[in-house]
Every structure is written in C-alpha cells, then in structure tokens.
C-alpha cells in the first residue's frame, strides 16, 4: 500500500456514479475474491457514501453537499428546476457544473449547458431518478439478454412504480393523457406511472436511490473493495493492447500513484470517459463521436376541474412541502412514430409565475417535459486537446454539435404533442412550449458506444470491452448506441451489469 492507494488490485474502476457502482456491486456479488479499487475524483458528500442529497434532511447541509459536487471551478449560479431556464440562459442544476469553455463552437449549435458532477455518487446523487425502459428502436439489439439485464438494473437501482401512487390527481392526470395518446399503442408503450428509483421507508418518508443503493450492503461489507475519493485518474496504463493499471493523482496532496490492475473500467461520464481514454492514448475512430443529447421541450398546464375533483379534499389537506417536484410522475413512453418521451410531473407550485392572487391546488399544476431522440451523426462529438488543459489538468474538452433538419422536425412535433397533452389536461400555462438550451437533459449518450462489430463506428463490444484492448472496459450513458429519448441511467446500468459479468470472467484467467 502507498498512502490511501493500493499498489495492486484485480480491477480498478474509475468513477463512482451509478454505473461505476454497478461494477462494484456485481463484482462483490459474483466474484467477491477480486480486489477492487473504486477511484473517484470528487469528494465524499454523504453518509453513507454515494447516497442522494435529497435524503439529507437538513436543507443547509444538502445545499453544502450540492456545492461540493460542483467541480474544481464552478463558474455559474445554479437553478432548481429546468422550467426556470428560458432559451439562451446558461445555468447549471444544483450539484452540477458546466463545461466552462468549448461547449459551443461558432456557427454550430453546441451544447451550452453541458454539465457534470464531481462527487462520490456522481450525478446519481442529484438526479430525478426516473427509470423508464427503452422501447421499439430505443432498444439495443446487439446486446443479448437485454430484458434480463433491465430487470437486474431495476433491482440494483431499487426501482418502484408506486412511491407516489397516492399523490392527488395522479390517476386523473394519467386518465386524461391515456385518452389522448394510448390509441394504437402496445401495452408497454401506454401512459403509465413513471418507474422511479425511489421507495418509501417504513415510516412513510421517501428514500431516493443513489450509488449507495446500487452498492448495497454486499459491496459495503466486501473487504476486498476499496473506495478512494478525491482521486483523479489521469491515465490508464496500457501495454501490448492490454490494460495494466492506472495513474492516479491524490487531490488531497497532489501526489501521483500507480496502481497495477488486470482490468480497468472507465465509468467517468459521457464527456470524461472518452477524455480519459484519449489521455491514455486509446483513440479508436469512434471515440467521442455520435454524441447525442435529448433536446428537451417544456410546457405546463393547470388541471381543469381540479377544485371539484374528489382528490381536491386530499390535496387541500396535504401539508406544504409534502408534494415536491416529483409528485405524481407519469410517463408517456417513446414510440418510433412519435420519437420523444414525456415526463409529466405534478407540482405544488407553477414553474411559470401565475397571477399573484392565484394559489393553485397542490398537484393540479402539471409540468410537462418532452425529451427528443437525436438524429445520430458521427460529426456530433466531444473533441480533446493535447496542449490545452481543463481545470483538472486533463485534455480540454470541446463539443462539436448541430441539430439537423430532422432534429428540428422532431422538436416541432414534440411541441405539437406537448400542446395536445396540455390541452387534454386542462388549460395550458404560458403561450408556447419552449426548447431548453441544448445539454439541459443531462443525458449525453454515444461517445463510447457499443457495437456488434469493430467497424469503426463503435468503441466497445456488447460486453463494453474496448475493441482491441484486453481488460479495458467503458461504462455510462456514453456506451448506449441507440438514440434513446427516455432517461438513460437504467439502460446504462443494464449494460454495466453485462460488462461486470465479463470482467469477472476475464479476471478468472489471472487467478
Ligand atoms: P456519473 O453519475 O456522472 O458519475 C461519473 C463519475 O466519474 C463522477 O462522480 C465523476 O466525478 C467521476 N470521474 C470523472 N472523471 C474522473 C477521473 N478522471 N478520475 C476519477 N473519477 C472521475 N438520469 C435518468 O436516467 N433519470 C433521471 O430522472 C435523471 N435526472 C437527472 C437529474 C439531474 C439534476 C441530474 C444531474 C442528472 C439526472 N440524470 C437522470 C442523469 C443521471 O444522473 C446519469 O445518467 C447517471 O448519474 C450516469 O451515471 P454514471 O455512473 O455513468 O456517471
């Protein structure tokens, strides 16, 4: 051992968000004899490590944990709700920090609010926890056993569909949306409660899943697993096309350490996973390419007739703060003929200012967020620079990104559909749906995508192993090769489960 770092492990995992945690969990369950180091550049902000900041009851402590996640050089104020952002504004969500430079190149659309989190638990300590399954062409055909993987991913994330079952008007919202959209849809593509990685504790309070839930006791009790925070992995060491370890900077004292490993998993988010591969000289042609964000259209409506609805009594008795941003979350699933996914959230306040005298019935104001599938192109990419450095001293990131004509059409159709949803619910609030600045979805995909063949259009195989490199794996939303419009974490965790099983098989050869 040298300081906080082991000299040698079987598996080094870079990044402690939900997908890095998945590798730790599956290896703890299926290969507990393997020595594993989980290396995270950000600080530990919660107890237990990796839990969701919303589980911190003290609001000031929660805000402190969010601020500590906002990277080495946070450069802008944060906002609580995507609905507060009008096109053109540049703000990060609490717990995240914006890519300071290079988010948009002149003449391109760029991704003005491309964001990251740097903390144990990654973005999974700050997320909304919506976990819908991909459908139709969102599904990944190259991956065998995809449905079993999704089922296991729900288990690891602790996904439920009933945490908000008793939210006032939730059933009514779904009844009206179903009437508008369900015709002609397969059963699994109809309007339904949004699956959420949230459960109710025995005392009725809500528990939001983060990496802590993914770790589970089996990882926490695994004596062969070490979590090291404030540990920046600067390079994966590769010898003869095989990962042999990592070079890590201890951010607490700037010392540099080398850890030998048989396998390395890079789960460092969709911008920084390709960055680390690039910094390590692993530069397959598809690295950083096929970047896709889900353009997000938002609108709001007031449920008509709410005052006379039987739920109004229950809503009136709801203590302030019991309803929150996620109360009564409903889902209008993606279908190929309408390539967007709708997240419908009942609020206890309007995201758009109403008249001052207007005090809406809790749950009767409905926020609508439609996420669009991108028209995939190799030209949309994350680029890196050998000479310019970011605030961590890693190769600077620049985003090259454009919406195509097809993307503009999809966005126009999403706006039309969201208007229909608002009309079905009652009275639209505000004149027009609006498109949030690109990057707002926080769902960046494709940059280390998997593929069935090593034909230059993918970075890794269906087991997430980087083509042509033994023992080198990638994880996160960047692995997703399809243009999914639904929230991607469940899918990324499913792919990580398959990858972790392959790591366990691969490491058998070393024992
Ligand atoms: P991350 O959670 O981003 O973790 C990556 C980790 O790697 C980070 O902790 C980072 O610090 C670390 N790292 C990076 N580089 C290095 C390095 N060189 N060395 C060491 N460590 C490194 N998704 C959904 O599916 N549903 C939702 O409802 C949803 N809502 C969201 C709402 C908000 C406000 C936010 C912020 C995100 C939301 N997301 C949602 C996105 C979701 O959180 C991410 O999809 C998920 O966290 C990705 O997991 P990950 O493990 O791949 O990456």
Cα distances (angstroms) measured from residue 91 to each of 97, 112, 177, 348? 9, 9, 31, 23
Taking only Cα atoms into account, the Rg of the chain, rounded to an integer number of angstroms, comes to 22
Which pLDDT belongs to residue 2? 44
CATH of the domain at 253: 3.50.50.60
Q: In angstroms, what is the span from residue 315 Cα to ligand 1's centroid?
A: 34
Q: Is position 354 within any domain? A: no
**What's the 42 CA to ligand 1 centre distance in angstroms?**
12
Q: Is 130 a pocket residue for ligand 1 (Cβ < 6 Å)?
A: yes
Characterise 67 by phi-psi region: left (phi > 0), alpha (psi -120 to 50), beta (else): alpha
Q: Write out pLDDT tens, residues 224-244.
A: 999 999 999 999 999 999 999
What pLDDT does residue 417 have? 97
**Domain contains 450:** yes
User: Residue 495 has which token pair?
Assistant: 């792919």
* Cα distance between residue 496 and residue 464, in whole Å: 8
What's the token pair of residue 410?
Answer: 């999809």
Distance 188 CA to ligand 1 centre (A): 27
The three-state secondary structure class of 225 is strand
CB of 118 closer than 6 angstroms to any ligand 1 atom: yes
Pocket test for ligand 1, best of 124, 208, 392, 395 (most atoms within 8 A of CB): 124
For the chain, the domain total comes to: 1
The answer to whether the CB of 326 is under 6 A from ligand 1 is: no
Cα separation, 465 vs 264, whole angstroms: 10
Q: Please answer whether residues 19 and 44 qualify as being in contact, where contact means their C-beta atoms are separated by less than 8 angstroms.
A: no
CA of 476 to the centre of ligand 1 (A): 8
pLDDT for res 341: 96
Specify the pLDDT at position 74.
58
Ligand 1: does its nearest atom lie under 6 Å from the Cβ of 20? yes
The predicted complex's ipTM stands at: 0.99
Q: How far apart are CA 497 and CA 502, in angstroms?
A: 9
Backbone phi, then psi, for 63, in 5-degree steps? -65, -35
* Contact call for residues 211 and 40 (beta carbons, < 8 A): no
What pLDDT is attached to residue 316?
A: 67
CA 298, CA 289: separation in Å to the nearest integer?
27
The response to whether residue 122 sits with its C-beta less than 6 Å from ligand 1 reads yes
Within-domain flag for 316:
no
Domain that residue 495 falls in: 1-76+117-158+209-288+445-511
Pocket test for ligand 1, best of 127, 331, 382 (most atoms within 8 A of CB): 127
- Nearest to 23, CA basis, from 511, 492, 509: 492
CA 21–ligand 1 middle distance (angstroms): 11
Has residue 347 been placed in a domain?
no
Q: pLDDT tens across 381-439, in order?
A: 999 988 999 999 999 999 999 999 999 999 999 999 999 999 999 999 988 999 999 99
pLDDT for residue 81: 57
Extract the residue ranges of the chain whose pLDDT is less than 70. Answer: 1-3, 73-90, 313-327, 348-359, 511
CB–CB of 350/194 below 8 Å?
A: no
Please tell me the distance from the alpha carbon of residue 106 to that of residue 89, in angstroms, as a whole number.
Answer: 17
Return the sign of the alpha-carbon dihedral for residues 54, 59, 60, 61.
Answer: negative
| Cα–Cα dist 156/159, whole Å | 8
User: Does 405 fall in a domain?
Assistant: no
Buried b (16+ CB within 10 A) or exposed e, 343-359: bbbbbbebbeeeeeeee
Residue 132 lies in a domain: yes
Is the C-beta atom of 42 inside 6 A of ligand 1? yes
Which residues are the active-site residues? 443
pLDDT at 312: 79
**Residue 500: inside a domain:** yes
With a 6 Å cutoff on the Cβ, whether 288 touches ligand 1 is no
How many whole angstroms separate alpha carbon 306 and alpha carbon 60? 35
Q: How does DSSP classify residue 92? A: B
Q: Which residues contact 494 (CB under 8 A, 6 or more apart)?
A: 146, 149, 150, 152, 153
For residue 48, say if its preceding peptide bond is cis, omega within 30 degrees of 0: yes
In-domain check, residue 239: yes
Contact 449, 290 (CB under 8 A): yes
As a whole number of angstroms, the distance between CA 425 and CA 439 comes to 28
């Amino acid at each position: 051992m040298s300081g906080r770092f082991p000299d040698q492990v079987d598996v080094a995992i870079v990044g402690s968000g939900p997908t890095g945690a998945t590798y730790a969990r599956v290896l703890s369950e299926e290969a507990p004899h393997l020595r594993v180091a989980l290396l995270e550049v950000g600080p530990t902000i919660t107890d237990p490590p990796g839990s969701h900041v919303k589980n911190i009851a003290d609001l000031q402590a929660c805000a402190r944990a969010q601020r500590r996640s906002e990277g080495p050089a946070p450069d802008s104020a944060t906002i609580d709700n995507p609905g507060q952002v009008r096109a053109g504004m540049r703000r990060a969500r609490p717990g995240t920090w914006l890519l300071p430079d290079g988010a948009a190149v002149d003449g391109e659309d760029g991704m003005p609010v491309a964001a990251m989190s740097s903390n144990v638990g990654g973005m999974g300590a700050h997320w909304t926890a919506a976990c819908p399954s991909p459908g139709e062409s969102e599904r990944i055909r190259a991956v065998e056993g995809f449905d079993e993987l999704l089922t296991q991913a729900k288990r690891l994330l602790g996904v439920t569909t009933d945490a908000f079952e008793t939210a006032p008007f939730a059933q009514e919202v779904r009844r009206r949306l179903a009437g508008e959209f369900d015709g002609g849809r397969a059963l699994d593509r109809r309007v339904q409660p949004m699956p959420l990685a949230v459960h109710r504790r025995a005392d009725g309070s809500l528990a939001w899943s983060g990496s802590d839930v993914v770790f589970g006791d089996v990882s926490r009790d695994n004596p062969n697993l070490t979590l090291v925070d404030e540990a920046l992995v600067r390079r994966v060491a590769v010898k003869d096309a095989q990962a042999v370890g990592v070079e890590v900077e201890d951010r607490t004292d700037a010392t540099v350490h080398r850890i030998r490993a048989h396998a390395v998993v890079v789960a460092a988010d969709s911008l920084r996973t390709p960055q680390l591969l690039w910094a390590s000289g692993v530069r397959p042609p598809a690295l950083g390419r096929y970047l896709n964000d889900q353009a997000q259209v938002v609108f709001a409506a007031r449920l008509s007739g709410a005052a006379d609805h039987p739920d109004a009594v229950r809503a009136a008795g709801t203590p302030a703060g019991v309803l929150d941003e996620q109360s009564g979350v409903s889902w209008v699933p993606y279908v190929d003929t309408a390539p967007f996914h709708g997240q419908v959230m009942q609020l206890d306040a309007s995201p758009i200012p109403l008249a001052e005298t207007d005090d809406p019935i809790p749950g009767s104001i409905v926020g609508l967020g439609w996420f669009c599938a991108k028209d995939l192109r190799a030209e949309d990419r994350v680029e890196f620079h050998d000479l310019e450095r970011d605030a961590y001293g890693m190769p600077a990131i620049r985003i090259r990104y454009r919406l195509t004509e097809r993307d503009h059409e999809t966005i126009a159709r999403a706006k039309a559909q969201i208007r229909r949803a608002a009309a079905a619910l009652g009275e639209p609030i505000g004149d027009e749906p609006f498109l949030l600045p690109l990057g707002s979805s926080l769902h960046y995909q494709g940059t280390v995508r998997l593929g069935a063949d090593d034909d230059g259009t993918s970075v890794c195989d269906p087991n997430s192993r980087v083509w042509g490199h033994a023992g080198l794996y990638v994880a996160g939303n960047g692995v997703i090769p399809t243009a999914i419009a639904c929230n991607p974490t469940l899918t990324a965790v499913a792919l990580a489960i398959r990858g972790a099983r392959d790591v366990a098989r691969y490491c058998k050869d070393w024992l």
